[in-house]
Structure 1
Amino acid sequence: MLTIVLLATVIQPGKINAAFDLEAESAILVDAKTGKILFQKNIDAILPTASMTKMMSEYLILEAINEGKIFWDQEVPISDFVRTLSLHTALSNVPLRQDATYTVEQLYQSVAIYSANASTIALAELIAGSETQFVKMMNDKAAELGLEDYEFVNTTGLNNSDLQGNHPDGTGENAENMMSARATAKLAFHLINDYPEVLETASIPTMDFIAGPEERIEMRNWNWMLSGIEPQHDYEGIDGLKTGYTSAAGNAFTGTAERNGMRFISVVMRTNTRDDRFNETKKLLDHGFNNFTHVELVEAGFIPEGFEQIPVVAGKEREVGISSIEALSTVVRSGEDELYSTELSLNESQLNEDGELEAPFEAGTQVGTLALVYNGDEDEEFLYASQRAEVPVVTDVAVEKAGWFAMAMRAVGGFFSGIWNGVAEMVKGWFS
């Protein structure tokens, strides 16, 4: 791509800085639509993730459902180890019996609402045959999603030492899952965008789990920011996503909330208490909702100034108009609308060495892209570099190839035009 020009006047008002710090070792706030990073603190430190790990397990469960590999009403076998682990009451669990039947949906609900560890392993065994194989799937999916800073050693987020000697093959007996806040936010971004139905379950405050005949367990969501669980933490618009705690990880939380069509993702890692992880999340989300809005900065059909037409070679027309086919929008900090300009990049592979588009071509042929460029004091950053706002620029009309006679006449005209220009220059030289 050949970058042609920066467009629009740039005005730089004073930059608004986040007037707060967080009592967390690492934290990030991201716009869930564009992937733009709106706040960051130590986001590349690789830390234990505890049960936030289960977001990857949920991703693979929902992927298996969507691909028809498993089904919501399918019964899930309960292995001896899963049965034993489910009775470990010091961990987050619902008791599972081998003389009862449980569906994929029931166990998934216990994972998403109550962070049930044994249920997570039971589903992993169903999908992959063993937790060892499921962990391989987790690491492979992390690579596919471009998480970069991660290591999955089990499906739950527990320390391997809690797995009673049954930790996945090839992992250390005291190993723990690790990710950076940036990688955790990437995982959450993919989870809620690829499988938005995850929020239907993650947002349920309480639900009963039927463990067996006359054995009903109340599952209270560990996300206390949902309405009605711990009223002091109620937060408007919150509907997910996943808490976590181990002694090494401290208290962590990946949250997401939506208001007025705008959704944010937050991650806090290594806070001191359960209350702290929600208090710090509130600060992050308030920062987002109070200071940012989604704005359409360039409407569809924008014609870059100075490039209203590009030259055409071998066509019935000598020029063709170009314009963007979609609007350009992004999440913008309050007062910074004018800090954005547009950048037109034409695709060199579509043009000849003279910058001409060769006929014939159809209307709507893409010839480049139009991108938003932020001109503030700091660099604009996204979870992925490819998330910068840009839209295709296309030809407005079709241009047919000119016939041989028209091309011949143009050549003749060009020949005599060249002679005339030469004579004019010679005559001009006589009198200079």
Structure 2
Amino acid sequence: MKHKMKKWVAVLLMPLLLLTTLGTTAPAYADSTLGIHVDGAILIDAESGKILYEENADTPLGIASMTKMMTEYLLFEAIKEGKISWDQEYKVNDYTYAVSQDRRLSNVPLRRDGTYTVRELYEALAIYSANAATIAIAETIAGTETEFLKLMNAKAQELGLKDYKFVNSTGLNNSDLQGMHPQGTGPDDENVMPAKSVAKLAYYLLHDYPEVLETTKINTKLFREGTTDEIKMDNWNFMLPGFVYEYAGVDGLKTGTTNFAGHCFTGTATRDGKRVIAVVMKAVDANGVGSYKARFDATRALFDYGFSQFSEVEFVPAGHQFDKQKELEVIKGKEKQVSIAVKEPIRMMVKSSEKDLYVPEVTIDESKLKDGSLQAPVEQGTVVGHVKLVKTEGTDYGFIDADHPGTDLVTKDAVEKAGWFSLMMGAIGDFFAGIWNGATGFIKGLF
């Protein structure tokens, strides 16, 4: 009877044991994600490019209208180089007219015989994600959208983007371009890029042309205000002030939505002088349903994580000298040694709870040395090495455009080359010192 009771107890306890086991493993999964429902995501510090969080960030995915950030970059570049101007006028053609009349797409309708300034078209692009206006800008810059694709690909390569494919300037599926898609692309093609490359594009856009935010922060504007063509343009970025998913500090950058790409967003926000960039791709809710709310909820989670968990820390101040490497030997100089120090401070955005895990690592450039010493003359500020931060444990995501933060190690003073007499006397001293050391070594060997 006792044996039967033990068996029954064992049977009853088994499910409890299983639940206990499952319960102990669940938090590990929770700790590995922010609980967002996306196909890809990344969060970076906008100043340094430090990656604060990533989730499937290297897989190419549909980017939809986030493509327009590349068009914006090329537009600002063309303006800067004087190739086009804000007041330059564009005359509507059959292609841009036909696309602009498709109200299923985000568009400001263009008149068949109309002319529009580059500034008007840009504002429609940046605020309302107007697709025909985007194509018009591409044609203004390159003549045709087909030629503009070449510029997009060249710039992507120059910026170091990876695993990208551009098939048009807008991010639409080519099937929406009414058979007039760029030459060399398929009728159902769509632009793709990993979240990491999208973040890198946004990073360079903000660094090189921060004035883009003056337009992307506008929540509502009237297109052709005061005319019969007047159209209200509400920004698709519903995290801007006054909108339903408002988030303090948001001032950009670009939404994107197609059936292929799902609901995407590249957002940027500032708080307490700190700016971050977040990218979410194919965002869905807990039930797997994509929506505007899902992409902004995911972005909010990334913003909250960045602003609450991370802070900028100065690990090494400018002019700092390391105890184990304060000087380098100098040969043929008036001084036998020269002090070396950090040229610039090393600051980095890190998780506050992990700041003690980062340590500076010093590397001396051996190519600058001869037999382990510098050779005079040595100029002040000569670069003799590099200092970088290394995380001693755990995962470090690195930087969007570099592996590690760091700074040069430089000489603090100049060392002049010694005169011929001093060099000669030094050589003689070295000669006799060598003889003496050899002799003493020989005599010690006898005993």
TM-score normalised by L of structure 2: 0.89
Within 5 Å, give how 1:58-137 maps onto structure 2.
Answer: 58-137=72-151
> Counterparts of 1:136 and 1:429 in 2: how far apart (Å)?
77
Within 5 Å, give how 1:378-393 maps onto structure 2.
Answer: 378-384=395-401, 386-393=402-409
Q: 2:428: which partner in 1?
A: 412
Tell whether 2:297 aligns with 1:279: yes
Between 125-134 and 141-150, report the one with greater CA deviation: 141-150
Within 5 Å, give how 1:287-302 maps onto structure 2.
Answer: 287-302=305-320
> Counterparts of 2:339 and 2:62 in 1: how far apart (Å)?
54
What do residues 74-95 of structure 1 show as CA deviations (whole Å, max 9, x unaligned)? 1122112112211111110001
CA contact (8 A) 2:52 2:350 kept: no
Matched position secondary structure for 2:329: strand
Regions of 4+ moved over 3 Å = 16-19, 98-101, 422-430
Q: 2:383: which partner in 1?
A: 366
Is the alpha carbon distance of 1:52 and 1:380 closer, same or farther for their aligned partners in structure 2, counting shifts above 3 Å?
Answer: closer
Query: Would you tell me which structure has more helix in proportion to its own residues?
Result: 2
Tell whether 2:362 aligns with 1:348: no
> Counterparts of 2:278 and 2:176 in 1: how far apart (Å)?
28
What do residues 88-116 of structure 1 show as CA deviations (whole Å, max 9, x unaligned)? 11110001124443211111010000000
> Counterparts of 1:379 and 1:111 in 2: how far apart (Å)?
36
Is the alpha carbon distance of 1:426 and 1:349 closer, same or farther for their aligned partners in structure 2, counting shifts above 3 Å?
Answer: closer
Q: Aligned residues, how many?
A: 412
Structure 2 unaligned blocks of 5 or more: 1-29, 284-289
What do residues 160-185 of structure 1 show as CA deviations (whole Å, max 9, x unaligned)? 01001100000000111111111111
The one-letter code sitting in structure 1 at the alignment partner of 2:77 is E
Tell whether 2:54 aligns with 1:40: yes
Q: 2:256: which partner in 1?
A: 244
The one-letter code sitting in structure 1 at the alignment partner of 2:272 is N
Q: 1:141: which partner in 2?
A: 155
What do residues 37-67 of structure 1 show as CA deviations (whole Å, max 9, x unaligned)? 2111111221111111111111111111111
Q: 1:209: which partner in 2?
A: 223
Between 415-424 and 175-184, report the one with greater CA deviation: 415-424
CA contact (8 A) 1:100 1:212 kept: no
Deviation at 1:361, TM superposition (A): 2.2
Q: 1:11: which partner in 2?
A: none
The one-letter code sitting in structure 1 at the alignment partner of 2:404 is R
The equivalent position to 1:256 in structure 2, one of 268, 289, 307, is 268
Within 5 Å, give how 1:178-217 maps onto structure 2.
Answer: 178-210=192-224, 213-217=227-231
CA contact (8 A) 2:40 2:280 kept: yes
The one-letter code sitting in structure 2 at the alignment partner of 1:189 is Y
What do residues 359-412 of structure 1 show as CA deviations (whole Å, max 9, x unaligned)? 11211111111111111222342223x251111111111111112111110011
Between 73-82 and 413-422, report the one with greater CA deviation: 413-422
> Counterparts of 2:397 and 2:361 in 1: how far apart (Å)?
15
> Counterparts of 2:112 and 2:416 in 1: how far apart (Å)?
72
> Counterparts of 1:98 and 1:406 in 2: how far apart (Å)?
86
Between 27-36 and 111-120, report the one with greater CA deviation: 27-36
The equivalent position to 1:318 in structure 2, one of 336, 341, 357, is 336
Matched position secondary structure for 1:369: strand
Deviation at 1:124, TM superposition (A): 0.5
Tell whether 2:36 aligns with 1:22: yes
Deviation at 1:335, TM superposition (A): 2.1
Between 337-346 and 103-112, report the one with greater CA deviation: 337-346
CA contact (8 A) 2:92 2:114 kept: no
Within 5 Å, give how 1:325-344 maps onto structure 2.
Answer: 325-344=343-362
> Counterparts of 2:112 and 2:227 in 1: how far apart (Å)?
12
CA contact (8 A) 1:34 1:387 kept: no
Structure 1 unaligned blocks of 5 or more: 1-15
What value does the CA root-mean-square deviation take over the aligned residues? 1.6
Please say which structure displays the higher CA radius of gyration. 2
> Counterparts of 1:415 and 1:133 in 2: how far apart (Å)?
72
CA contact (8 A) 2:127 2:216 kept: yes
Deviation at 1:213, TM superposition (A): 3.3
TM-score normalised by L of structure 1: 0.92
> Counterparts of 2:441 and 2:67 in 1: how far apart (Å)?
77
> Counterparts of 2:332 and 2:392 in 1: how far apart (Å)?
40
CA contact (8 A) 1:95 1:211 kept: no
Deviation at 1:19, TM superposition (A): 5.9
Q: 2:327: which partner in 1?
A: 309
Higher relative contact order (CA 8 A, sep 6+): 1
Q: 2:410: which partner in 1?
A: 394
Matched position secondary structure for 1:335: helix
